[in-house]
A and B are shown apart, each in its own frame.
Chain A
């Protein structure tokens, strides 16, 4: 389904839709599925396959021109969707004026169909694999290939300027085709992608002469021994943003320095960990206009000792008067932390999630960060560090606490104490991701009451099925309070010991929830049933290792066409259960797969992944995927 785009913001590097109010109602240009209740009053012969044709003569050309000019100003996906449903002429006008195309699931619509309908697109966003693929729950080569998209767009959109991809498989050949096909190409944003190497980057940077943005976030780039930084054009560039912190290859620093020197518009620069602090210094003095900086290793280069070359790092940072977003610190040398003091009071975003630092080491930094809105950190700072955050960061909107030690049975340095402190101090919090080993309902309830603006609540108690460690109770009441009290909540991830009761709360109160992640939770089919029957806005549901079976699966039949996808792995489903769905809902693609490629054929499977699609079964399935197709 092609959804209306909000402006694809390449600055929002996670491409999260949690802040986007796009409608669950997606646009289709085929027959409406019967499950959808749509008020069609006032619609005359809209493009929905009805046979009642509009008997009014062809609309006034003037009116259409006016319409097109007005529709240009409509940018939100929801608004465009509504506009296109008014009548055929609005549908046409909207299609002609849509310049930003958002494809939430690359298999829901084909490139041919999308490009046939929207002919004047300048910016495209495509999302591929489901999120659980990030955690190795799906073998490689599942799909989400960029190739068919880029080859369609090469013909249909010669004026394409922006491409944003998330969890897509991109090859060097795809990048080469992109570079050749789009003369005015300006922005490439790749989030959680893989499949290409530095050769592909080299082609893009050398041929895309108008390139403004090259952002690689958590994307795997293979090392082809190609010096891609050298491949930028020799003249001044238009570069505004260059983010390659996830590229694990050595780069040619001299070439990078010259590149920065000839990129006067550069505002965002994120370096990889092969850039030392000395090299960082050299870049910073050339680019004091930076607003976003990823510092690289923040350590000395190999073989150098401290004192060999004492540069004035403090001045370099002080000169960056516009710096608002700081990250990196991949191999942080603690002695150099004070260098960042001059910028702390201006920072709105700070990412220390690769820096293993203690509370004491954090305090001098965080105590100056009064304007901080986004903070990513490791749990090495302990509850005490979180208290320090709560004391100073009154403007905090987003917090992510990652574990240093991502193991179930480890000691947990953060707990309910830290969570409660944050809830007391950071009342404007909208989004939290918190990894811990122990938690209490009381703390979660406190957060639900103190942080009424919460939109995203993701709590990961790393020990599976762990109860409230003080009362021994399940975590039902805590999560229940979150859905009850946080009226704006759209994204929820649950953990710990949870009974069906927790899900009854979610179904009853989670009326705005669009994304739900469940792992090792629930008692019976009832749990899933509550959610599918209660959460009317649910779009993305990912479940692993929970005792939900065929009956529960069937209870969602009325809703699956409204969803982007359902993922269920290691649950209690059977093949028959999945077949029942496939038969009932022909517009759903029902994939069953094994988690390991080498496994033999057999009746059992590990994962169900199903999604609505206009295209039917895809033709690029790997050997470990089977699509259940009724009536073949």
Chain B
């Protein structure tokens, strides 16, 4: 199944993953996994993401991380992670405001917590209790009346997922989950 240049981007294959059930020693693969090696990702960082989707190991013989094992709450894992970051670098987060059409409350999130689009979108779904449709380059988000958009450095509203993840991280200023026809309109703009 062919691949976009950037493995963190959305593609149908990524959202169609059938996950191994917890309890199996499966190595969970994402497409274009080999490309990830070029990035300075410490395999220890993976602890913070307890979702099995993101369990990856660099060397095949090592076991994949088991979901929920050892039984440490993610809050604690993430706090220790924050410690590690704080020691070496100035780890400032990338905080952006997130609004959703029709919702009374704004949220602020730290984009640095997420490593790819699926993670970010999943978090938004949970935070605002809605479902995002299936992404495709041609048609944007199908299957739901919501579409996640962001305002970039130039002040333009773009559909989340159109650009490679790293580019998104550095240019995203604000997120807005659009609803209805406005959302659909944006989807066709690509």
Tell me if B126 and A223 are in contact (CB < 8 A).
no
Q: Is B74's beta carbon under 8 Å from chain A?
A: yes
Closest to A199 in B: B105
Q: Once bound together, how far apart are the Cα atoms of A198 and B62, in whole Å?
A: 41
- Are B105 and A462 in contact, CB atoms less than 8 angstroms apart? no
Q: Is the pair A141, B126 in contact by a Cβ cutoff of 8 Å? A: yes
Q: Choose, from B3-11, B18-26, B155-163, B176-184, the stretch at the interface.
A: B18-26
C-alpha gap A140/B97 in the complex (Å): 22
Q: Is the CB of A544 within 8 A of B22?
A: yes
Tell me the bound Cα distance from A574 to B71 in angstroms: 25
Residues in A with CB closer than 8 Å to B19 are 596, 599
CA distance A569 to B69 in the complex (A): 13
Question: Are B86 and A570 interface neighbours, CB within 8 A?
Answer: no
Known: A141-B126, A224-B105, A569-B22. A331 touches B86 (CB 8 A): yes
One of B18, B23, B82, B97 near A273 (C-beta < 8 A): B82
Which of B30-38, B44-52, B137-145 touches A? Answer: B44-52
> Are A464 and B66 interface neighbours, CB within 8 A?
yes
B41 within 8 Å of A (CB atoms): no
Say which one of A16-24, A46-54, A112-120, A397-405 lies at the interface with B: A397-405
A595 is contacted by which of B22, B70, B76 (Cβ under 8 Å)?
B22
A224 contacts B107, CB within 8 Å?
yes
Give Cα A408–Cα B69 distance, bound, in whole angstroms: 8
A180 interfacial contact with B, CB 8 Å = no
Instruction: Assess whether B170 is interfacial by the CB under 8 Å rule.
Output: no
CB-based contact B126/A409 at 8 Å: no
**A299 nearest CB neighbor, chain B only:** B86
Known: A403-B72, A464-B66, A595-B22. A223 touches B107 (CB 8 A): yes
Please report the C-alpha to C-alpha distance between residue A435 and residue B67 in the assembled complex, in whole angstroms. 17
Among candidates A137, A141, A222, A249, residue contacting B68 with C-beta atoms closer than 8 Å: A137
Contact A331 B105, beta carbon cutoff 8 Å: no
Q: Which of B71-112 contact A (CB under 8 A)?
A: 71-77, 79-80, 82-83, 86, 90, 92, 95, 97, 104-109
Residue of A nearest to B67 (CB): A136
CA distance A404 to B80 in the complex (A): 7
List residues of chain B with CB within 8 A of the CB of A409: 62-63
Q: Is the interface of A mostly helix, strand, loop or mixed?
A: loop
Residues of chain A within 8 A of B18, CB atoms compared: 599
CB of B186 to closest CB in A, whole Å: 24
Distance in angstroms between the alpha carbons of A595 and B51 in the assembled complex: 10
Does residue A354 face the partner (Cβ distance < 8 Å to B)?
yes
**A525 at interface by CB-CB < 8 Å:** no
Q: Inside 8 A of B63's CB, which chain A residues have their CB?
A: 408-409
CB distance from A340 to the nearest CB of B (A): 18
Once the chains bind, are B75 and A460 in contact (CB under 8 Å)?
Answer: no
A545, B22: Cβ atoms under 8 Å?
Answer: yes
CA distance A141 to B79 in the complex (A): 24
Given the known inter-chain contacts A224-B107, A409-B62, A606-B21, please indicate yes or no for A403 contacting B70, CB distance below 8 A: yes
B76 touches A402 (CB 8 A): yes
Docked CA distance A223–B109 (Å): 7
Q: Quick check: A197 and B73 within 8 Å, CB to CB?
A: no
| Cβ-defined contact, B106 with A225, below 8 A | yes
Is A26's CB within 8 Å of the partner chain B? no
Give Cα distance in the complex from A192 to B77, angstroms: 15
B56 interface residue, CB < 8 Å from A?
A: no
- List 23 A-B pairs, Cβ < 8 Å: A132-B68, A135-B67, A136-B67, A136-B74, A137-B68, A140-B126, A172-B104, A220-B75, A330-B83, A331-B82, A402-B72, A406-B47, A406-B70, A407-B44, A460-B71, A519-B69, A544-B23, A569-B22, A569-B23, A570-B21, A595-B21, A596-B19, A599-B19
Q: Which residues does A use to contact B, with CB under 8 Å?
A: 132, 134-137, 140-141, 172, 192, 197, 199, 218, 220, 222-225, 246, 249, 273, 299, 302, 330-331, 353-354, 356, 378, 402-409, 435, 460, 462, 464, 519-520, 544-545, 569-570, 595-596, 599, 606
- Residues of B bordering A, CB below 8 Å: 18-19, 21-23, 44, 47, 50-52, 62-63, 65-77, 79-80, 82-83, 86, 90, 92, 95, 97, 104-109, 126-127, 129
What are the nearest 10 A-B pairs in CB distance? A135-B68, A570-B23, A223-B108, A545-B23, A136-B50, A462-B70, A140-B126, A406-B72, A137-B68, A331-B86
